Structure formats: C-alpha cells, structure tokens
Amino acid sequence: MSLPQALAASAERWPDKDAVVTTSGRMCFSGLANRADAFAARLVELGLRRGDRVAVWTDHVIEAPIAMWGTWRAGGIAVPLNGRLRAEARAGILADCEPFASVVCGRFGKPDAKGELGALPTERVLHLDADEGGEGADALPDTPDAGDIASIVYTSGSTGTPKGVCISHRNLLTIAGSIEEHVPQGPDDSYLMVVPLHYVHGLMQLVVRGYVGATLHFSGDFLFPRSIVDRMAKQQIREVSGTPWHASMLVEKGGLLEQDLPDFKRIAVVGGKMPHDLSAKILAARPDVEILIAYGQTECAPRATALDPSRVLAKPDSVGSPIPRVAVHILDEDGNALPQGESGEVVIEGDNVMVGYWGQADATSNVIDEKGRLHTGDLGFFDEDGDLHLAGRVDDMIKSAGERIFPSEIERVLTGGGLVKDAVVVGVADDVAGQRIEAHVVTEDGPPEAAALAELKDRLRKQCVDAMPLPRVPTAYHVWTEFPRLPNGKVDKVTLARSGGPEGCATNAQE
C-alpha cells in the first residue's frame, strides 16, 4: 500500500468526516482526497515525473496537507520545509534536493511572501488554493510503490550540516499501523498538532490521522499556550503531542490542568526527557489522562519505542519497549548482542528504517548496516521489564584506562545530591589514560567565592566516590554560570572538553 491508497481508503469509509480542521476552516476526507487529486493533476500537467521533488513551505493551513497528499498522489517526493529558515540554509537545502517546484501556501502564499521567503531558486513557484477543483484527476499516473521515497525530511543532527532523510511510503505506513495497534485510535479521535509539519513528528501525525480516519486539528503558532488549551476545549480534542517543552508550556502557561477538558485523554511526549515532577503534576490533576513517552529518530520515521503509560511515574528514566513491527537491539562495538542491563548502541530494525540520506551514500552506509538496521548512535540498555533506558551517545562514551564509561550515570550522581542543578561529564584527551573524566556543573546561584568553591568541589568528589567505582570518579570539577550552547540549544560539549572550564571560555563566568 502507498500513502495515496491509504487516504483513498479513508475517504471511501468516512467521506463526510472532518479530515483537517484549522483556525480558519475545515475539510472532510472526500474533499481532501479530491483536492489532493486535483493538485496532483496540476503537477503532472506541468511535467512532474515520478520521483521529482516538490518543496512544500509548510504552515498550519489546509493547503499544506493538500500539497503533501497531492504530491504523493502524483508520484512525487514531498519535501516539507520551514519557511523561517535563514536564506543561506534555505538555499542549501534547495540546492541539495533540486525541487521540480516550490509550493507556497498560508502566510508564505500571500502577495508579500517574498518578505518571508525571499526569492526561491526553483523554476516553478506554485500558489495553492484550497478551493481548487478536481479537473484532470482522470489522467493521473498509477499510485507509487510502497518502497518509493515519499518525503525528504531535513535534519541538521549533531554536526549542523543538513541531511535529507529519505522516508518511504512503507516507512510511514509501518509506523501508522504500529501506532494504531499500540495506541488504539480511530475515526472517533481528534488530535491537535502543535508542532510544525516540517518536523518529522508532524509528518508522522499527518499520515497517522489520515490512515486511521481521525481528525487532524492545526493549532496555529504556539505563541499563546492559553489559546491552545482553549482550542482543545472548543474542538473536543482527545490527544496532543510535542516535546517536554510543549507539555510544560501547556501546564504552566496554558492552564491545561485547570481548564474543563472532558474529552482530553492523552498527551504524547517525544524529543527529550519528560521531567518526573511534570508527569506527576499532570497525573495528580488529571488521573484519567495517559502520558505516552516515545523514542525514535527521524531516520526511523520516527518511532521505535513507547513507554506503557501505567509505568510513567515508576520509570521516569525509561523510553519504553519496542513498538509493534519494530525490533530494537543493544549491540557492542563488534556488533554482538549484549545481555539485559548492559549498555551498548541502540540499533533499530524494521520497515520503519529510512531508505537513506539523500545523495549521501557514505553517510547512509555509516548508519545502515548490511542487514538494513539503523545504528542510532544512542547508547542504552534494557531493564528486566524489557524497557529501554538511554545512556547518552556513542560519541560521548568515555574510554578511560581501559573502561567504557557512560557520562549519564555520572551526571545522575552529580545532580542527585542537591548541590547542582545541571551537570555534563566529558572525556578529555590524556596521554596516560587515553581519556580522563571531567565534570562541568551549573549551580542555582552561579559559581561561589573561592573558599566556598573549593568546598563545593570537595563535596561533589565525595558524592561521586561514595556512589561509584573510583575509575569513574571525575578528576576535575568545573563550575559555570551557564553552559555554552549550540544554535539548536544543546550544550556545546566540544567547547566544554576543550576549554578546561569557564576560565578557558571568555563568554562565561570565571572559576
């Protein structure tokens, strides 16, 4: 089955049911299918061939799903893009995927769109009208094959260099079927999308809702969490999902726990660790709501595990067990399976694993092995219940004096004693040990004066000595006002390792 066939099946089963609802309008499943066919016919008439790319400048408007489904129906590859990208990044992605056309809609389709997007270096820039008729649909080509690339999702990853993750029709429908199985849902469900459609999570939700016949609601910009929660009440939303930040904003700024939401049943959290106190706060106020913690990567379309909602409070550090149709392995450096409780690389196997990186065969072979499995670069282990616990990144693993040391276990010790609010452990090149372990911490009030600073470091060292074997105890402790960060907000661990502490980084407070 391909994505257009899945939408056609839903349109036949639930023709008059709302498929997409936005702040400005709505469209039923038959209407969505018809308008997607019309846009597909337009693309084919312009000369689009199977496998041609179509850049879709996404927005939370009805035209965006029409453009995505229409591109798939025409046999093209839909490339959802962020219209707020800097001009340089935008040009780089367009040069990489070489789209047949760019589709502008919503705020990017207005007459002043050049102020948003600037000049697009593509031969065709198409303005999409949601009321476009269905002429020409009879001339459409056969639907794509399941193994054809459906979308290219650009992700910078840890290097900052954009990679186009090629996701097939089979990849997305595998995840849609898995989610339908392990999180039962169907045409009676309504989902509110707060993340952008150019995120792989947004792409997944677009497909899942079309596959199961549920209504997809677009929230608009996530600027005013209170308006998002008001919309949940008005539209009788059953599920919302996002990062831990989204969940926190809905609770702390949106009034999620105070608003009357009788239909609200589930919040799914992806893309980071959900704070235990936030989960506890939600469940204390709304015990009937499920919190679903999920893990995956863009490269696996994008889900691999999910934590049983009944275990969320008991296992705040777990991301759950493999979802249906997906296998997860823990392998050592030689590719051998490791026993329960032992940390190794998380490797994902299944029809959800990407086709590869667009135009980057070497990068693809670095993460996809000869068995078609995805080597995630994440470290983790399975506990006695078969639930996965992440332990950092392979690149972060420290090899000191012959030992394999995982920074996350030391970081948990450092933050668990109440002395610091955040900790990052890095390996620093050492002529004797190979790497030595150094700890970088942030305190609530910033670095103390010299005498108190020395006392803090002594207490941190004692805390580590009491909790772990001596070879894992950091040899140095650096106290920061705040950590240096990359543009994506993540801690800049390379700078930490090279700086030798705040005194080596001019933009931070000195020890």
Task: For each of the domains in the chain, give its residue range(s) and CATH number, in order of start.
Answer: 1-144 (3.40.50.980), 168-204+221-392 (3.40.50.12780), 397-504 (3.30.300.30)
Cα–Cα distance, 76 to 74 (Å, whole number): 6
CA dihedral 198, 33, 23, 235 (to 10 degrees): -110
In contact, 265 and 287? CB cutoff 8 Å:
no
Q: Where are the alpha helices (DSSP H) in 2-49?
A: 3-13, 29-46
The position carrying tokens 């694993």 is 353
**Residues whose CB falls within 8 Å of the CB of residue 391, separated by 6 or more in sequence, listed in order:** 343, 379, 380, 381, 406, 408, 409
Q: How many CA atoms lie within 13 A of 490 on its CB side?
A: 11
CA 206 to chain centre: 14
In contact, 331 and 345? CB cutoff 8 Å:
yes
Closest residue by Cα to residue 65 from 27, 108, 114: 27
Res 508: pLDDT? 42
In contact, 429 and 443? CB cutoff 8 Å:
no
Element of type H or E holding 269: strand 266-269
Res 395: pLDDT? 80
Res 122: pLDDT? 60
Cα–Cα distance, 134 to 37 (Å, whole number): 7
Cα–Cα distance, 189 to 186 (Å, whole number): 6
In Å, how far are 3, 126, 175, 255 from 77, measured between CA atoms? 12, 16, 19, 40
Cα–Cα distance, 335 to 489 (Å, whole number): 32
Phi, psi of 265 (to 5 degrees): -125, -20
In contact, 72 and 150? CB cutoff 8 Å:
yes
Cα–Cα distance, 344 to 377 (Å, whole number): 10
Res 251: pLDDT? 97
Res 112: pLDDT? 54
The position carrying tokens 């049943």 is 265
Provide the 3-class DSSP secondary structure of residue 85: coil
In contact, 442 and 411? CB cutoff 8 Å:
no
Provide the 3-class DSSP secondary structure of residue 26: strand
Give the chain's residues under pLDDT 50. Answer: 115, 157-159, 506-511
